[in-house]
Amino acid sequence: MKLLAGNSNTPLAQSISNYLEVPLTDASVRRFADEEVFVEINENVRGEDVFVIQSTSYPANDNLMELLICIDALRRASAKRITAVLPYFGYARQDRKPGPRTPISAKLVANLITTAGASRVLSIDLHAGQIQGFFDIPTDNLFASPVIAADIQARLANRNLMVVSPDVGGVVRARGLAKRLSNAPLAIVDKRREKAGESEVMNIIGDVEGRTCILIDDIVDSAGTLCNAAAALKQQGAVEVFAYCTHGVLSGGAATRVAKSELSELVVTDSISSGEPDPKDSKIRRLTIAPLLAEAIRRIADESSVSSLFD
């Protein structure tokens, strides 16, 4: 087994390497003067089982090209099997046609990864489950809920908890977390989105008075939905509101928005590297998913069950 890291999230790749006690493969992933990506593998990978660790987060197109070229370089170097490990799968929100003459970019990216030469894909909390079907190669979609549930139980176990889905589409995810938290009660935020990037909270389905609410979502981008939901929950009598999200995209002024919101804390995983440490007074905290990904990688390499990780 070999691990190859792109430039998108080197701290996570190094943490996975440390957990597995497998050094990162010596490779050069750099840019030419005109920003073209160049990849050179500096050690023999012939007949090896190689895992390429690369989130396609911002800058999404650069990181995606890095991934594709890494896969192509490994294929041409006669690697036996190439697994694309995507802690965060970019373009996942474009998984259907929301209107006429619009693309399904998630399917296009799946085709690119497959054509480049990947043998299988490993990701965490895909935005929509059907994206697994976009790939014509085996695809494992892990869930961050065990890591999130363990953190909630360690920090908030003595609170009167209620799990809250920020929209109707996230009910299944919220129900799964509630089940892990000793069948905690569930509430739903009913919101109407007038246009992309903006949301308006309409109503809270469920009695949240006197509760510590846990908002759960897969992606936090502008954080507008979570901040509006936190304000609505507080208005309905919630004592405190915490938000847990797998992928902290946090674009634009998201961090400032969270700092000024009714949220007590926003917890995200390290599936996306921020590139710099969060300020000490920030409401944003990061959990590592390195052990979860590392254990899945080990099981794939050993040809053992990945699904049993979540039993």
**280 a catalytic residue:** no
31 is in an annotated binding site: no
94 is in an annotated binding site: yes
136 is in an annotated binding site: no
Of 145, 149, 199, residue with least CA distance to 173 = 145
Which of the following is catalytic: 2, 80, 97, 191?
Answer: 191
Q: For residue 100, say if its preceding peptide bond is cis, omega within 30 degrees of 0.
A: no
Alpha carbon separation from 152 to 22, 69, 217, 263 (Å, rounded): 31, 39, 14, 15
CA atoms of 147 and 288, how far apart (whole Å): 8
194 is in an annotated binding site: no
127 is in an annotated binding site: yes
165 is in an annotated binding site: no
311 is in an annotated binding site: no
35 is in an annotated binding site: yes
Q: Which two tokens stand for residue 175?
A: 């129900």
276 is in an annotated binding site: no
285 HSE (CA, 13 A, CB side): 14
309 Cβ contact partners less than 8 Å away, ≥ 6 residues apart? 142, 146, 292, 295, 296, 299
36 is in an annotated binding site: yes
42 Cβ contact partners less than 8 Å away, ≥ 6 residues apart? 26, 27, 28
Q: Which residue has the tokens 């390497």?
A: 17
Annotated binding-site ranges for Mg(2+): 127, 167
Annotated binding-site ranges for D-ribose 5-phosphate: 193, 217, 221-225
Catalytic residues: 191
Annotated binding-site ranges: 34-36, 93-94, 127, 167, 193, 217, 221-225
